[in-house]
Amino acid sequence: MAVRNIREMGDEVLNKTCKEVKEITPRIQELIEDMLETMYEANGVGLAAPQVGVLKRIVVIDVTGEDPLVLINPKILETSGEQTGNEGCLSVPGKTGIVTRPNYVKIQAYNEKMELFELEGMELLARAIFHELDHLDGKLYVELVEGELEDLEIPEDEV
C-alpha cells in the first residue's frame, strides 16, 4: 500500500468523467488499498479515484474512522430531504463552503469482490456519498457553494 498524491483543483483530471470498472484486477485492488491509505493519511472522510489521477468509478468513504466503504460503479437510486452545511475537499485544500444537498440517499454499488449491494445513508454519510459521486462525473463541490469559499480555520491545538 502507498499514499498517493492528491490532485488539486485546476488539474484537468478532476473535470473528467470516469469509466466503469469491469473487473477487479490486482491493479484495481491496489488502487482501492492506496485510496484508503491516502484518505486516512489526509484525514479525509472520502476519496474518489480521480483525486489520485485514476479515471475509474471508485470511491472510498469512512465517516466514522473505523468503517470504510468501498463503492465501485455507484448509482443513486433515491434521495430525499435537504441539509445545508460546510463542506471541504482534499482536492481544494484549506477551503470550505456552504453546500445544500439531500439529507438521505439510497445507492447501488459493487464491493471489492464485484458483489452488488445497496446502501442507505443520512446526514454526513449522505453528504459524503453525494460529494464523492460528483467527483466521478468531473464535478467539484465548489460549483455548488452558496456564497464564497472561505479559508478553513484550523484549531490552534492542531497547528
Residue 4 lies in a domain: no
The beta-strand segments (E) located in 20-158 are 46-48, 58-61, 69-80, 83-89, 92-101, 104-110, 116-122, 146-151
Q: Is 5 a domain residue?
A: no
Considering the candidates 87, 132, 143, 150, report the single residue annotated as catalytic: 132
Let me know if residue 75 belongs to a domain.
yes
The pTM of this model reads 0.94
CA–CA separation, 28 vs 33, rounded Å?
9
Domain containing 153 equals 12-158
CATH number at residue 33: 3.90.45.10
For residue 21, tell me if it sits in a domain.
yes
Domain count along the chain: 1
Question: How would you write the pLDDT of the chain (159 residues) with one tens digit per residue?
Answer: 799 999 999 999 999 999 999 999 999 999 999 999 999 999 999 999 999 999 999 999 999 988 999 999 999 999 999 999 999 999 999 999 999 999 999 999 999 999 999 999 999 999 999 999 999 999 999 999 999 999 987 655 554
Give residue 153's pLDDT.
72
> 57 lies in a domain?
yes
8 is written with which cell numbers?
488539486
The answer to whether position 114 is within a domain reads yes
Q: Is 132 a catalytic residue?
A: yes
Give the number of other Cβ atoms within 10 Å of residue 119's Cβ.
16
The answer to the question of residue 124 being in a domain is yes
In a domain, 6, yes or no: no
